[in-house]
Amino acid sequence: MAGESSEPIVVAIDGPSGVGKSVAAERLARTLGFHFAQSGAMYRAVGWLVELHDVSPRDGNRIAALVAETAIDIALRPGQSAVCVHGREISEELAGEAVGKAASAVATLPVVRQTVTAQLRRLRCQGNLVMEGRDIGTVVFPDADVKFFLDASLDVRAWRRWQEMRQAGHGDTLEEVRQAIAERDEQDRTRTLAPLVPAADAHVIDTADFSIDDVVQTMVSGTQHNILRGNG
């Protein structure tokens, strides 16, 4: 439990694609002075490798071999987490919906989930941690000190993602973005292993009507409250 020992504190943040988890988690980590890790980046790295080697995302045996022979690591740095393959940072290659789609597909495979989950758990040794993803509060750190689940309707998330993409110069239509997010949602929510679902003890925050500042502030207060309660 929070504050009962000198174990590092873990804040778990889960939620669907496009809900703004990464920005909110990164800002929460910065405010609290905690490390920050995007677990999706590990799945994206596997999805990227699978595409690079032209392997089908359903070919479990070849993907198992690929994962076994490749050193994929998350390096925790102040305010950000970087993904490295054989020591080379590949964070920039991991952006975008094509890699997100490949990541969602490989994330259904037991061998990928086991490997990534084990690596994510090891990050706790490095100090207090905010980690975001899909199964952080349910599977990776079911004993996390504080859990949040950020949510918003598909329309709200698609609109936000589309705006971001337009600002970054991408030409996808709103409907294309909506469709891509809907497909990923479906796959992430319905897979057998570690599906996207709020932990029973997560604070669920509907972000639709709140600014990012409000969401971060709610999480800062919630985290401080839980930690203080643990200490008391």
Closest approach, Cβ 5 to ligand DC, in A, equals: 25
Within positions 135 to 154, which residues make up the interface with ligand DC, using CB under 6 A?
135-136
- Amino acid identity, residue 217? Q
- Long-range pairs of 160-167 with CB within 8 A, sequence gap ≥ 24: 160/18, 160/20, 161/17, 161/18
Closest approach, Cβ 229 to ligand DC, in A, equals: 26
162 closest CA partner among 171, 152, 153? 171
The answer to whether residue 124 forms part of the interface with ligand DC (CB under 6 A) is no
- Amino acid identity, residue 116? V
State which of residues 10, 17, 83, 147 lies at the interface with ligand DC (CB under 6 A): 17
- Which of these segments, 97-105, 153-161, 174-182, 215-223, binds ligand DC (CB under 6 A)? 97-105
Q: Which is nearer to ligand DC, 43 or 149 (CB)?
A: 43
Closest approach, Cβ 124 to ligand DC, in A, equals: 15
Task: Say how far apart CA 218 and CA 31 lie, in whole Å.
Answer: 12
Q: Which is nearer to ligand DC, 104 or 115 (CB)?
A: 104
CA distances from 207 to 122, 145, 197, 216, 217 (A): 30, 22, 16, 10, 12
Q: Which residues bind ligand DC (CB under 6 A)?
A: 17, 39-40, 43-44, 100, 103-104, 107, 133-136, 184, 188
